[in-house]
Structure 1
Amino acid sequence: MRYEWLIALRYLRAKRKQTFISVISFISVAGVTLGVAALILVLAIMTGFHDGVRQQILGNIPHVLVQAQDDRARDWPELAERLRQADPRVRAVAPFVSQQVMLLAGDQVTAVNLKGIDADSRVLQQDYQTLDGRSLAELLLQPAGRYPGLVLAADTAATLGVGLGQRVDVIPPDFSLTPFGVIPKIRPFEVVAIARQRGGFLDTYYAYLGLEAASSLIGRTAGQLSGLEIELAGFDQAPAVAAQLQQQLDAGLTVRSWQDLFGSFLAALKLEKLGLFIVLAIIVLVAAFNIGTTLIMVVMEKNKDIAILRSMGASAGSILAIFLFKGLLIGLCGTGLGTALGLTLALKADAIIRGLERSLGVTLFDSAVYGMERFPSQVVPADVLTVMATAMAICLLATLYPALRAARLDPAEALRYE
């Protein structure tokens, strides 16, 4: 071990008359620890919340959406096959039709976007309460009841006051001219599935039918679809795939990724995460000022020791290294302890919240409000490494001035009156 490390370690163990300096060193380590732990914990929670909201959006929203710019009939089956072969990242292509409609149940009315789906739709992969426990695909695509099947979000079902097996009338924006005036067309449907989780971000505004029933309801032929929904291997691949498909398809088709549809909202979440990172990094910065203060006091206290080392042949670089090493040790201790504490809290966040709720008898996280089954916390290794690197950089920067001052000390001036 180089002697600079030995001297730095010795300076960390203060003598009895220098206990105050040791206390400040402990406070510096504690400040870095709390700052790093807070950063890791908050970033993990923000990442978990961000991914939870994104999952809610992507629950029934396609990764990539292909739509025609007009209502002309297109050869959608051939186009769907082209899209399946266009890129290996494309996992499924599902046709759909959609239309704004009114739902009527008793004296309750609500507006939804009615979407007709087929067997390849990602809607069928979500968690629903179904009639008689049967599969959603069977209930929607192979109806055996008096009326075609209809799938509702939990909030929509609550608004209408309906449950499984009950009738809901659908009123499309299509009217019939009779001798008695203009009369809306009303079609009865049976509620065959209701989403299990309330509070979905977009599911409240959607209701689902089988593709054939929806096309019949809104007066479209088999070739007149609203578009195609593309599911990819990963949601982060959507912008690249959408850009590639847009270049390959006809000019009359529009290709949009889910970021194009909801990117501004998710960008706001990212900006909030960045803002919290900057604010909480100030905690580490305050602790770094304590490190700088500690080293300045050590330099003032060790003037004679520094002068003797210089007179014995120690270079200015060695003196600089001694104090840099001391600041590095404080930063390493604080960053290491803070990382361990932050990871522990982040990985056990849901259990900690549940334990506090049981102990205090209060609800700290209502899953129905946020639409998430557990408290969101997701540790991203890149975030942890960024926090550690930022903390170490701040700590090292705080040691520069005291270390440079010690390196520039004139030994003759320091020992003049000794």
Structure 2
Amino acid sequence: MYRPLSAFIGLRYLRAKRSNHFISFISLVSMLGIALGVTTLITVISVMNGFEKELRSRILGAIAHATIQPVDGEMEDWHSVLGEVGNHPEVLGAAPYIEEGVWLQGEESSGALLRGIDPALESRVSEVADKMVMGELADLQPGEYGIVLGIGLAGRLRVGPGDRVTIIAPRLKATPVGASPLMRRFTVVGAFEFGEYENDSALALVHMDDAARLLRMPAGDAGGVRLRLADMDQAWRVAREISTALPGHYYVRDWTQERGNLFQAVRTEKTVMWVILSLIIAVAAFNMISMLVMVVTDKQSDIAILKTMGARPATILRVFVIQGSLIGIIGTTLGVIGGIALAMNISAVVPYLEQVFGFSLFPSDIYYITELPSELRAGDVSKFALMALGMSLLSTLYPAWRASRTHPAEALRYE
């Protein structure tokens, strides 16, 4: 079988038992360094992807992708607005709402965001009905003044189903003794848990009609419309298109204005982790440069003999490029296999490590996320593998060029 001379010699140098064991050790360290770097990159970025997905699911399960509300006053004919919104091809669901920051008083007191909803339509824009841990969302009936609390908020107020909670709204009403805030007693009928601090500890839900009575709004009016979209990244554009098509003037807000900074911080952290962990591969590449330089020095006489036999400088260059590239390919392959295996089984590995070393990575009394999420993406694996291969190839160029510049007479002078 035909095999190019440069490939034959490069493979032979890689397989041969070296007299210089230090060079062999540096080769092994370089290979393992690349494998470790790729494995770590794939695993850490997969965990960050899983964390971002889990965070997005828990946060956006309670808030809408976008909201549309009138600039002045309330939305009187929200039924027709829902009909107009539903005609947009990128809107999956829409529901009316009323929101107000309030003060809640139970056994203890706490501030909260009060949201008036229509229980029959709320499932179109949020997942709160699936997150109920006590009671049902359908228990919110107009005129009965029921309230559903986040599990953290219920714990802070020290109340449960059947207990009474006083809602104090920051709006004033005139009384014979002067102005006083609006307030009304509500009965706790349920609780929900999203597993995200802000939603669970600062959100309270009531029927929209009861919220309108509490805030002295005209019956049947809404504060605005919440939207759920096919592509949440296009929320601002879609909401602007809808508000422009509607008669009147509307204020538009999307999810990035409420929680966008948090997701931006996660993306920034992923970028920083990628840069830092890439240095592991860079260090392995530098080790490969030093190893190949020592190999070239060790093989000076071989290179000189090849040149005297007619080998061209390009042939010598390819010998060492092939040798170094094979180290990179083997290290990258091991790293990809190890990274994929670890990323896919991280949820089983972490409990084992916790058991062996006697610590808890995510204590349930501190963190809502009690296990390490992971989402392996083929694009990330390909990107890291190509980066490692590229660094490996670049690290071979200088030693290979130096080998191709060897002068046979000088190399063989003392042989």
**Cα distance, 1:101–1:338 mapped onto 2, change above 3 Å:** same
CA displacement 1:108-153 (0-9 Å, x = unmatched): 211111101112221544411223xxx32x212468xxx4221111
Which of 267, 287, 294 lines up with 1:270 in the alignment? 267
Counterpart of 1:130, as a letter, is: M
Q: Which among 78, 81, 86 is matched to residue 80 of structure 2?
A: 78
CA distance in 2, matches of 1:66, 1:373: 36
Matched with 1:52 is 54
Compared CA separation, residues 252 and 369, structure 1 to 2 (3 A): farther
Structure 2 partner of 1:62 = 64
In the alignment, the residues of structure 1 paired with residue 247 and residue 178 of structure 2 have an alpha-carbon distance, to the nearest angstrom, of 43
1:56 to 1:216, Cα distance in 2 relative to 1, 3 A: same
The farther-off stretch of 159-168 and 241-250 is: 241-250
- Alignment-mate amino acid for residue 116 of structure 1: G
Aligned to 1:26: 28
Out of 271, 276, 279, which is 2:276 matched to?
Answer: 279
> 5+ residue gaps in structure 2?
none
> Which digits, 9 at most, give the CA deviation of each residue in 1:26-60, with x for residues without a partner?
01111111111111111112222222222232121
Partner of 2:104: 103
Q: How many angstroms does 1:331 deviate by?
A: 0.7
1:130 alignment partner, one of 134, 137, 144: 134
Given that residues 14 and 22 in structure 1 are in contact (C-alpha distance below 8 angstroms), is that contact kept between their aligned partners in structure 2?
Answer: no
Note closer, same or farther for the CA distance 1:16–1:4 as it changes in structure 2 (3 Å cut). closer
- How many Å separate the matches in 2 of 1:414 and 1:287? 29
CA distance in 1, matches of 2:385, 2:15: 25
Cα offsets for 1:343-375 (capped at 9, x unmatched): 222211121122223344432113453323531
Residue in structure 1 matched with residue 392 of structure 2 by the alignment: 395
Please tell me the residue identity of whatever aligns with 1:164.
P
How many residues align structurally?
409
Change beyond 3 A, Cα 1:351–1:235: farther
Separation (CA, whole Å) in 1 of partners of 2:176 and 2:246: 47
Distance in 2, matches of 1:238 and 1:356, equals 41
Tell me how far 1:22 sits from its aligned partner. 1.0
Structure-1 separation of matches of 2:161 and 2:410: 91
AA aligned opposite 1:62: A
> For 2:366, what is the secondary structure of its paired residue?
helix
Q: Are 1:376 and 2:373 matched, yes or no? A: yes
Distance 1:179 1:281 in 2: 71
3-state SS of 1:70 partner:
coil
Distance 1:128 1:368 in 2: 20
Percentage identity across paired residues of the two chains = 38
Asked if residue 91 in structure 1 is aligned to residue 87 in structure 2, the reply is no
Indicate the SS of the match to 2:218. coil
Shift of 1:72: 4.9
Report the CA distance between 1:212 and its aligned residue. Answer: 1.5
Structure 1 contact 173–184 (Cα < 8 Å) conserved: yes
166-175 vs 267-276, which moves further: 166-175
| 1:267-290 Cα distance to aligned partner (Å, 9 max, x none) | 122111111111111111111111
Q: Residues 197 and 359 from structure 1, CA distance in 2 versus in 1: closer, same or farther, beyond 3 angstroms?
A: farther
Q: Distance in 1 between matches of 2:141 and 2:233?
A: 31
Instruction: Work out whether residues 40 and 339 of structure 2, in 8 Å CA contact, stay in contact via their aligned partners in 1.
Output: yes
Shift of 1:240: 4.3
Q: Distance in 1 between matches of 2:47 and 2:334?
A: 19
CA distance in 2, matches of 1:98, 1:268: 27
- Aligned with 1:369: secondary structure? coil
Task: Please say which of residues 22-31 and 350-359 is displaced more in the overlay.
Answer: 350-359
Following superposition, the deviation at residue 175 of structure 1 comes to 3.9
Q: Name structure 1 gaps, 5 residues minimum.
A: none
C-alpha distance 238-97 of structure 1, shift in aligned 2 (>3 A): same
Q: Is the 8 A contact 2:301 2:411 kept in 1?
A: yes
Q: Where in structure 2 are the equivalents of 1:158-173 lying within 5 Å?
A: 158-173=155-170
Give the Cα–Cα distance (whole angstroms) in 1 for the partners of residues 257 and 394 of structure 2.
Answer: 41
CA contact (8 A) 1:357 1:363 kept: yes
Q: Supply the distance in 1 between the matched residues of 2:132 and 2:14 (Cα, whole angstroms).
A: 61
Q: Is residue 103–residue 169 contact of structure 1 (8 Å, CA) maintained in 2? A: yes
Q: Counterparts of 1:126 and 1:372 in 2: how far apart (Å)?
A: 18
Maintained 8 Å contact 1:34/1:338 = yes
Report deviation, 1:100: 1.5
- Root-mean-square deviation (CA, aligned residues, Å) is 2.2
Of 215, 221, 226, the residue aligned with 1:224 is 221
Give deviations 1:361-401, integer Å, cap 9, x for gaps.
43211345332353122212222211111111111111110
C-alpha distance in 2, partners of 1:400/1:334? Answer: 18
Aligned AA for 2:132?
Y
Question: In 1, are the aligned partners of 2:208 and 2:222 still within 8 Å (CA)?
Answer: no
Q: In structure 2, how many angstroms separate the alpha carbons of the residues matched to 1:329 and 1:89?
A: 49
Judged with a 3 Å threshold, the aligned counterparts in structure 2 of structure 1 residues 371 and 403 are, in CA distance, closer, same or farther, namely same
SS in 2 for 1:395: helix
Map Cα deviations across residues 206-248 of structure 1 (whole Å, 9 max, x no partner). 1001112211221222453221111123433434433543554
Q: Secondary structure at the match of 1:93?
A: strand
